[in-house]
């Protein structure tokens, strides 16, 4: 649109000029070298314009003729440049496809046509990395350092190569150089933060976090959480040597992230040790509302030294009211009730957890409850057996590692704030290891019974059949009477040796009488009352006892061996 307006303006000016000349006629006379030329003003103007166009045409022809060699050279360079960039493009595609042969071929073409281009150096370095030639890759990245536009790219490549060969010192030096040259580089700032955290330099790590937040490389919530984690790590490190510094760092960490359990638990314990129980209780209650945790519960119950078990139970009730339906509240209240010997309250508290599938900690609390209330070793072993098969409780998990305590940095990957309080996956740890963990927890927390891992893993679940009642105390032993008595058959039949001299009444019973003459008087010993030992012993539950008939008959012979549940006569 603008060009159309310009054209219209030019034509308007020409028309205006022609009209102006037509309204003002005149003559033009030129005398040159004895020649005299006379014409009108209009024709003179047209002649001047034509002469100007002719001069321009001659100048264009002159430039074209004398510029042909340079034009040919420029065209050749353009073609080579185009082929070089085409080779770079195809080489990048081959690298993305994972084809080192094609990438090497296109790298050679790019090096031949555009050897000084930054993209050619990048293609050469990436081709060397794809082929596994680390020396050639480092040489290409070092060549990038000589040019200002590729210096940061070369530092990034050298940093990656140093990380791959495990040279942490060189990698840190490259990251420092990159940050000095370009402070807004995200990878360099992240690398420096990782180096500081792995070295335990929490102050330098906090400086790196603040620089990342100022450059907007991380959002505000992430930066606050990272600062809180670093402050908690600094507080844990300085707790023994610098308690004042540790308390200040823990309080600031709890303020930045109330859901950070280690900071809140440490701050609560240190405040309680200083005698500020009220402030410690408020801090721990706020942390419990955000994220219930056993460490918070333990610090809250221990906030006032010298409290009785009943006072601790009352504090547990107060803590449970903040999160009544949370499993951690139930476990904390049940543990405090057992310590206060409120066994019925402990059972009622644990009932919802047991109904929904008891976890390991719930089973251990039930074992502790059975031992404290009844001292029943059988019930304790039953709950221990259930604990070995129960679902696992929440723990600190990071990168596949389960830890019994929180750490600011993952020992596997070195990542900051990697540990999360969650239920470990079922694939982490074997069943034997889980049983050993259960036994270790029981030995550390309850000190009820010493059970080895081998015995715990072989315990069968007692839910199949109820345990047998304890046997009554044995009756006083009496001398056996000469008359025969009926006794219950043992579970494993065994042939009893006959005495050397049997009394005559026994022989009369063992040897059958004639069929026509039954002897009722001799059959009385079979109906005689059981002895005192038989009266004192309980009836067998699994194998019932059958009694002999009064008159077995003349044709019935005693079986050669007693069967299960039968009887035999002995003197």
Q: What is the pLDDT of residues 146-164, one digit of tens each?
A: 888 889 999 999 999 999 9
Per-residue model confidence as pLDDT tens digits over 162-191 = 999 889 999 999 999 999 999 889 999 999
- Cα gap 364→334, rounded to integer Å: 11
Mark which of 66, 89, 107 sits at the end of a domain.
66
- Choose the final residue of a domain: 29, 49, 66: 66
What is residue 234's predicted lDDT score, i.e. its pLDDT?
93
Q: Does residue 487 sit in the same domain as residue 571?
A: yes
Range of the structural domain that residue 409 is part of: 395-457
Which residue, chain included where needed, has tokens 């030329």?
A: 37
What does each C-alpha distance from 420 to 248, 293, 401 come to in angstroms? 24, 12, 11
Tell me if 287 is assigned to some domain: no
In total, how many domains does the chain have? 3
Average pLDDT over every residue of 426-445? 47
Phi, psi at residue 468, to the nearest 5°?
A: -65, 150
Distance CA 291, CA 259 (A): 6
Q: What is the mean pLDDT of residues 252-272?
A: 92
Which one is predicted more confidently, 31 or 201?
201
Specify which of 423-437, 440-454, 537-551 reaches the highest per-range mean pLDDT. 423-437
Six-digit token pair at 324?
């009544």
State the DSSP string of 545-568.
--PPPS---SS----SS--TT-EE
The region of weakest confidence among 284-298, 316-330, 406-420, 457-471 is 457-471
In a domain, 567, yes or no: yes
Question: Does some domain include residue 36?
Answer: yes
Which has more pLDDT, 513 or 289?
289
Q: Which pLDDT belongs to residue 460?
A: 37
Rg, the chain, Cα only = 50
Is there a domain that residue 275 lies in? Answer: no
Q: Tens of pLDDT along 450-491?
A: 433 333 333 333 333 444 455 454 444 444 444 433 333 334
Q: What are phi and psi of 142, to 5 degrees?
A: -65, -35
Say if 113 falls within a structural domain.
Answer: no
Residue 24 belongs to a domain: yes
- Residue 426 confidence (pLDDT): 67
> Looking at the predicted structure, is the pLDDT value of residue 265 above 60?
yes
| Domain assignment present for 444 | yes
**Domain membership flag for residue 569:** yes
């Amino acid at each position: 649109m603008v060009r159309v307006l310009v054209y219209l303006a030019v034509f308007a000016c020409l028309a205006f000029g022609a009209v102006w000349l037509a309204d003002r006629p005149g003559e033009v006379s030129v005398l040159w070298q004895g020649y005299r030329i006379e014409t009108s003003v209009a024709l003179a103007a047209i002649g001047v314009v034509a002469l100007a166009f002719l001069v321009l045409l001659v100048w264009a022809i002159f430039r074209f003729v004398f510029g042909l060699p340079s034009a040919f050279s420029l065209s050749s360079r353009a073609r080579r440049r185009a082929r070089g960039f085409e080779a770079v493009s195809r080489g990048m595609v081959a690298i993305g496809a994972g084809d080192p042969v094609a990438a090497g071929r296109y790298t050679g073409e790019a090096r031949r046509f555009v050897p000084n281009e930054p993209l050619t150096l990048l293609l050469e370095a990436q081709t060397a990395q794809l082929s596994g030639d680390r020396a050639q890759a480092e040489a290409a990245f070092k060549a990038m350092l000589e040019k200002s536009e590729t210096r940061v790219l070369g530092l990034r490549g050298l940093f990656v190569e140093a990380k791959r060969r495990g040279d942490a010192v060189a990698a840190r030096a490259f990251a420092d150089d990159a940050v000095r040259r370009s402070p807004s580089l995200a990878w360099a700032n992240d690398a420096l933060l990782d180096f500081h955290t792995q070295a335990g330099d929490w102050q330098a790590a906090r400086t790196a976090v603040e620089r990342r937040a100022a450059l907007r490389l991380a959002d505000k919530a992430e930066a606050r959480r990272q600062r809180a984690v670093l402050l908690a790590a600094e507080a844990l490190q300085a707790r023994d040597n610098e308690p004042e510094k540790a308390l200040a760092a823990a309080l600031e960490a709890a303020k930045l992230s109330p859901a950070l359990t280690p900071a809140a638990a440490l701050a609560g314990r240190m405040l309680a040790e200083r005698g500020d129980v009220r402030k410690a209780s408020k801090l721990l209650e706020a942390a419990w509302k955000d994220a219930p945790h056993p460490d918070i519960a333990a610090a809250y119950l221990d906030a006032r030294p010298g409290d009785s078990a009943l006072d601790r139970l009352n504090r547990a009730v107060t803590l449970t009211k903040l999160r009544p339906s949370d499993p951690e509240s139930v476990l904390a209240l049940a543990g405090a009730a057992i310590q206060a010997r409120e066994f019925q309250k402990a059972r009622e508290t644990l009932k919802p957890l047991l109904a929904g599938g008891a976890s390991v900690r719930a089973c251990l609390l039930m074992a502790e409850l059975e031992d404290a209330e009844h001292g029943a070793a059988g019930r304790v072993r039953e709950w221990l057996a259930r604990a070995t098969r129960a679902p696992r409780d929440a723990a600190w998990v990071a990168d596949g590692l389960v830890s019994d305590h929180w750490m600011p940095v993952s020992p596997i990957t070195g990542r900051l704030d990697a540990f999360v309080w969650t239920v470990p996956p079922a694939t982490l740890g074997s069943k034997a290891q889980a049983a050993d963990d259960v036994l270790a927890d029981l030995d550390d927390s309850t000190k009820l019974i010493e059970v080895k891992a081998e015995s715990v893993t072989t315990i069968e679940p007692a839910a199949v059949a109820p345990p047998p009642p304890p046997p009554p105390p044995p009756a006083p032993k009496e001398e056996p009477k000469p008359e025969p008595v009926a006794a219950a058959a043992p579970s494993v039949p065994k042939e009893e040796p006959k005495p050397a001299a049997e009394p005559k009444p026994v022989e009369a019973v063992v040897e059958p009488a004639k069929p026509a003459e039954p002897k009722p008087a001799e059959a009385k010993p079979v109906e005689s009352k059981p002895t005192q030992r038989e009266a004192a012993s309980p009836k067998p539950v699994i194998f019932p006892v059958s009694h002999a008939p009064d008159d077995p008959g003349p044709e019935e012979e005693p079986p050669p061996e007693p069967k299960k549940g039968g009887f035999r006569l002995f003197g």
